[in-house]
């Protein structure tokens, strides 16, 4: 078991020996060791910092090794432990062999730990052997092997290997820190998954909320409905957007129009909509746009309700004033110029009316709409 107390003579907690092809593993291990936070209670008991394994020497971040120089030997001397990244790559590396041999030569055999990232220990095959030949002459102190299959998931086996090495370096029981580490991993994984789901949900929501939409426009008559009048037909609905005008036609009462692929930016914002239809009052309105729009329309009471006729004595070429007439059940009289004006309420309007002039014994029909200047000729 490794010594817990880091002597003041050591500048580095560990020196990582590796082959350049395994750089990513060396960097990863350096980060894992330096950033590992021990439980506060254990730190208090043993007088450790929360991160007791920093700094860790890793050549690419400190020097560029070309040979085992005096500078490199100095870094080895001031490192408490030597950690060898084991793989078929490092097993063939002269530099890894020199670093191991030098650490042995200064009497530090028990402070060498081997961390297997690839290959097969003691396979004897140069293509798979992960231990350097220089270690054949002394006992191997295995730190950990990331390929030990204790769990179904490879990433969890790798994490277990890191903690296994850490427990040996610090001289603590593996279970005392692994259970805590595993709980933290699970909590981080859950937080990561929740975060990913939240991001995806937000992205989907943004995507959905930015999709074009369709608007259904229907009509509702708010004026008195009169079945004696022609029904609504060929109502033209026009929607005005900033760069586009959409137009469609409602052919008969009860129908609706659908305007499709409206940019999402218009949803809930004011847009201009117009309505035109024979016999109805034109509508030009600005409303907040929704997916269902109802336009309230009114029939034009003038079209079938305003009657104007002139009683005309044709032989004398003049109007006949003050003459009573009956239009259906409504009574009126001509004015001083012989003109009869009458407005029929919307509920009683029709497409034509019977006109009676009792004093002249005349019955006629007026067809609506009634244009100005129409006359009823009278004979003496």
pLDDT tens-place string over residues 77-129: 999 999 999 999 999 998 899 899 999 999 898 899 999 999 998 888 989 99
Structural domain includes residue 318: yes
Alpha-carbon distance 215 to 67, whole Å? 76
Query: pLDDT value at position 68?
Result: 65
Distances (CA, A) of 380 to 211, 242, 361, 377: 77, 66, 11, 10
CA angle, corner 93, sides to 92 and 95, nearest 5? 155
Q: pLDDT digits over 265-313, tens only?
A: 999 999 999 999 999 999 999 999 999 999 999 999 999 999 999 999 9
Structural domain includes residue 157: yes
| CATH number of the domain bearing residue 32 | 3.40.50.10140
Query: Which bin fits 191, alpha (ψ -120 to 50), beta or left (φ > 0)?
Result: alpha
Query: 225 and 295 share a domain?
Result: yes
Query: 289 and 358 share a domain?
Result: no
Query: 156 and 83 share a domain?
Result: yes
366: nearest Cα among 322, 320, 321, 309: 309
Query: 310 and 334 share a domain?
Result: yes
Alpha-carbon distance 31 to 81, whole Å? 16
Tokens of 350: 């029709």
127: nearest Cα among 93, 92, 99, 179: 92
> In a 3-state reduction of DSSP, which class is residue 254?
coil
In this prediction, residue 60 has a pLDDT band, given cuts at 50, 70 and 90, of: low
In this prediction, residue 2 has a pLDDT band, given cuts at 50, 70 and 90, of: very low
Residue 366 has pLDDT above 60, yes or no: yes
Query: 106 and 31 share a domain?
Result: yes
Alpha-carbon distance 28 to 56, whole Å? 11
Query: 17 and 142 share a domain?
Result: yes
Domain boundary among 299, 317, 335: 299
| CATH number of the domain bearing residue 261 | 2.60.40.4130
Query: 51 and 134 share a domain?
Result: yes
The structure's pTM equals: 0.56
Residue 355 CB partners (closer than 8 Å, separation 6+) = 309, 325, 326, 327, 362, 363, 364, 365, 366, 376
Positive or negative, the CA dihedral 331, 335, 340, 346 is negative
Structural domain includes residue 201: no
- What would the mean pLDDT of 36-51 be, rounded to a whole number? 82
DSSP string, 306-327: EEEEEEEETTTTEE--S-EEEE
Query: 107 and 125 share a domain?
Result: yes
Query: pLDDT value at position 380?
Result: 66
In this prediction, residue 41 has a pLDDT band, given cuts at 50, 70 and 90, of: confident
Better pLDDT: 30 or 59:
30
Residue 42 has pLDDT above 90, yes or no: no
What's the mean per-residue pLDDT of the chain? Answer: 89
Alpha-carbon distance 95 to 80, whole Å? 19
Residue 318's domain comprises 302-378
Q: pLDDT digits over 199-223, tens only?
A: 999 998 888 878 999 999 999 999 9
Query: 18 and 162 share a domain?
Result: yes
Query: 283 and 316 share a domain?
Result: no
Query: 94 and 157 share a domain?
Result: yes
Structural domain includes residue 184: no
Domain count, the chain: 3
Query: pLDDT value at position 70?
Result: 82
Domain boundary among 255, 270, 299: 299
Return the axis-axis angle of helices 23-35 and 154-170, rounded to nearest 10°: 60
Residue 175 has pLDDT above 50, yes or no: yes
User: What is the 8-class DSSP label of residue 228?
Assistant: T
Residue 367 CB partners (closer than 8 Å, separation 6+) = 351, 352
Domain boundary among 299, 330, 351: 299
Query: 284 and 335 share a domain?
Result: no
Structural domain includes residue 2: no
Query: pLDDT value at position 1?
Result: 42
Structural domain includes residue 243: yes
Distances (CA, A) of 50 to 6, 39, 44, 165, 176: 14, 7, 9, 17, 16
């Amino acid at each position: 078991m490794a010594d817990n107390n880091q002597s003041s003579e050591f500048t580095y907690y560990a020196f990582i020996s590796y082959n350049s092809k395994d750089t990513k593993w060396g960097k990863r291990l350096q980060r894992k060791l330096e950033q590992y936070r021990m439980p506060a209670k254990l730190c208090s008991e043993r007088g450790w910092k929360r991160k007791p394994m920093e700094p860790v020497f890793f050549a690419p971040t400190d020097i560029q090794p070309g040979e085992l120089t005096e500078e490199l030997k100095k870094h080895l001397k001031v490192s408490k432990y030597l950690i060898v990244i084991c793989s078929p790559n490092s097993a063939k590396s002269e530099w890894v062999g020199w670093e191991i041999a030098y650490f042995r030569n200064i009497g530090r055999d028990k402070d060498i730990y081997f961390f297997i990232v690839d290959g097969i220990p003691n396979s004897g095959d140069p293509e798979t052997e992960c231990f350097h030949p220089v270690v054949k002459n002394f006992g191997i102190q295995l730190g950990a092997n990331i390929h030990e299959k204790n769990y179904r998931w490879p990433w969890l086996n790798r994490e277990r290997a890191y903690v296994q090495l850490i427990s040996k370096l610090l001289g603590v029981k593996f279970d005392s820190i692994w259970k805590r580490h595993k709980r933290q991993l699970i909590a981080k994984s859950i937080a990561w998954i929740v975060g990913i789901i939240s991001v995806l949900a937000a992205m989907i929501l943004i995507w959905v909320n930015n999709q074009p939409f369709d608007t259904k426009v229907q009509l509702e008559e708010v004026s008195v409905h009169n079945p004696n009048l022609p029904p609504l037909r060929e109502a033209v609905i026009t929607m005005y957007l900033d760069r586009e005008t959409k137009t469609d036609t409602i052919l008969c009462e009860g129908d609706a129009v659908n305007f499709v692929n409206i940019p999402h930016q218009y949803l809930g914002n004011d847009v201009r909509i117009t309505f035109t239809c024979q016999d109805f009052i034109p509508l030009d309105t600005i409303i907040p746009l929704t997916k269902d729009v109802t336009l309230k329309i009114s029939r034009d009471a003038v079209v079938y309700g305003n009657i104007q006729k002139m009683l005309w004595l044709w032989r004398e070429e003049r109007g006949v004033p003050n003459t009573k007439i009956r239009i259906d059940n409504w009574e009126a009289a001509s004015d001083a110029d012989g003109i009869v004006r009458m407005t029929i309420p919307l509920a009683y309007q029709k497409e034509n009316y019977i006109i009676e002039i009792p004093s002249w014994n005349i019955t006629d029909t007026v067809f609506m709409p009634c244009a100005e200047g129409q006359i009823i000729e009278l004979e003496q």
